[in-house]
Amino acid sequence: MKKLTVLLWVMLGWMGLSAQEYRMGDGSPVTYTGTIAGAVTEEIEKVPMEFVNLVLFREKDSTMVTGTVTNLEGKFWLTEVPYGKFYLVVNFIGYDKKIIPDILITPKENAVDLGNIALRAAVTNIEGVEILADKQRVEYRIDKKVVNVSQDIMADGASVVTALENVPSVQVDIEGNVTLRGSESFTVLIDGRPSVLQGTEALQQIPASAVERLEIITNPSARYDPDGLAGIINVVMKKQQNQGIMGSSMLLQAQGRNTRPTCCSTTAPAKSISSWGATTTTTSTRDRA
């Protein structure tokens, strides 16, 4: 019983000492946390940077302690930082990350001012830039609507009629008949020239893979003779240029006084890979009586 009473008094005494306020040599109270302050600016423009991320890590195990962001003036404060050694990571989108090492918080130095922290814009050197842009499926111009057939995946392998589906002012029924503004009376042009076939029949015969674009003109000018027509559909075909060889040769041969020359010629065009040729030979012999 006596031992239990002594142990109880020892515990009560330890709790009383723990509740007391420890003081430094100058009489100031001991606090077990500190503060870190500073400001972040742009390195070239020297202007304050707002909403910059700052994260404090413990140096011995890289565990995160606390974090904050800069205010509108580029300043920041980290409060209630425990004693120890830390490093600060400063990061902002479009700028190089900066690490401030060896930040020490002790009872004697519990308020650390990091001063001004300058961030440099991130720069990446590249060899070149290739910009790719896709055309819109339907483009609206002043005098016409342009349907870029190459941008229509559904039209691949089908006829031009499939490319005209879901195009404003054009209707396609279940049988593939095309009407322009509700009328089947429209003109079909191929590369600006009138087609032999008319209307839906002409469009059904043209494969979409051979077409660059479709130009739908609902208010054609007088040069198209638009009387009684709902409009014009101009089919612009893809231009294919094949490289080839062009050359010509000629052979002349004559023998005897009364023999006419023998002529052979061959030509091949330049705009076709499969060349064509023509050869003519003429021989005439006339003997004197």
pTM (whole model) above 0.75: no
Output the CA–CA distances (angstroms, integers) from residue 209 to 239, 280, 285, in the order listed.
Answer: 12, 40, 57
Determine the pLDDT at residue 287: 46
Compute, in degrees rounded to 10, the torsion defined by CA atoms 153, 158, 161, 165: -30
Q: Where are the domains of the chain?
A: 22-119, 138-237, 241-281
Q: Which CATH superfamily is domain 22-119 in?
A: Immunoglobulins (2.60.40.10)
List helix spans (H) across the chain.
2-19, 160-163, 199-204
Q: Which residue has the higher pLDDT, 225 or 144?
A: 144
- pLDDT at position 74 over 60: yes
Per-residue pLDDT tens over the stretch 18-72:
433 444 445 555 456 899 999 999 999 999 999 999 999 999 999 999 999 999 9
Confidence at residue 115, expressed as pLDDT on a 0 to 100 scale? 93
In terms of C-beta distances under 8 Å and separation of at least 24 residues, what long-range contacts does 223-227 make, across chains too?
Answer: 224/187
| 94-103 average pLDDT score | 93
Write down how long the chain is.
Answer: 289
Q: What is the pLDDT of residue 253?
A: 56
CATH of domain 138-237: 2.170.130.10
